[in-house]
Amino acid sequence: MWCVDGACLIEGLCPVEDPKWTAGSPVRRHRVAFVRHGAYLRRVNGVESFGDSTSVLVVKPGDEMAVAHPLGCGDQLVLLDLSEELADPLRTGVFAVDDEIDLAQRQIVTAARRGIDELELNERIGMLLERLPNAGLAPTGAVTAAHRRLTSHAAQLLAAVGYTVGLGEIAGLLDCSPHHLSRTFRRVTGQTLTEYRNRARVREVLGELQDGADNLRELAARYGFADQAHMIRVVRRHAGGSPGTLKKILRA
């Protein structure tokens, strides 16, 4: 944990060890929650969503929250606990995390691990927070509950198999047509299923590199890339650099 004026940056494992839903409880602080590795379900004020590295959750004191881990526990999280003043401009809810935001929050953690003065940490957190309200997912009222559930189930399936299956296989498992799944997923999330899969698995690779992984061939196989060269191209497209370059940037 690193604390500066009005903000605490927390890196760690989710403390929940039961894969079933926890009892709902009130949120005690303004919090921004990034998923660094893994995936889970969250229910805030009765609205359920799937949480992984492609989205961030913003909650406020008094929100009712419960979580579940159907894919297993042990998720790695990066949390920002904020003062009322820092949290005031933020909208609560679930927001998409674009590639630049994801890399920025990872670099903040790396800088904190290395040792960073309070002024720079405060500025970096502030710049990160300024970007979040502009990356919202589709509002709750814009899509039906059935479409949100279908999208959530598709994301869970992808995460469960390590992002190694295609559109047809996912649609078959969900008992719907590939066209319907593709259209629904794009409407709910603002991105295609292919874009989502690439973004999610690139971030898993970044997390592995940040924690010391070196074998690119193994990483490519683990996350369903055609080969190492394919993984390098996709990582470069989303994160702006090769795995080797990003490894140097993200390691403390």
What is the CATH classification number for the domain harbouring 194?
Answer: 1.10.10.60
| CA–CA dist 226, 203 (Å, integer) | 17
Longest CA–CA separation in the chain, Å: 53
Count of structural domains, the chain: 2
The whole-number pLDDT of residue 29 equals 92
Least confident window among 108-112, 148-152, 162-166:
162-166
Residue 141 pLDDT level (bands cut at 50, 70, 90)? low
Contact between 192 and 185 (Cβ < 8 Å)? yes
Residues 191 and 222 in one domain: yes
Question: Range of 87's domain?
Answer: 2-135
Q: What element of type H or E holds 230?
A: helix 228-239
| CA–CA dist 55, 78 (Å, integer) | 12
Can you give the CATH number for the domain in which 95 is found?
2.60.120.280
Residues 245 and 149 in one domain: yes
Residue 77 pLDDT level (bands cut at 50, 70, 90)? very high
Query: What confidence tens digit (pLDDT) does each residue in 158-210 have?
Result: 999 888 888 889 999 999 999 999 989 988 888 899 899 999 999 999 999 99
Last residue of a domain, one of 108, 135, 162: 135
Residues 70 and 190 in one domain: no
Q: Based on the number of CB atoms within 10 Å of its own CB, is 139 exposed (0-12), middle (13-18) or buried (19 or more)?
A: exposed
Output the average pLDDT for the chain: 89
The whole-number pLDDT of residue 86 equals 85
| CA–CA dist 189, 138 (Å, integer) | 6
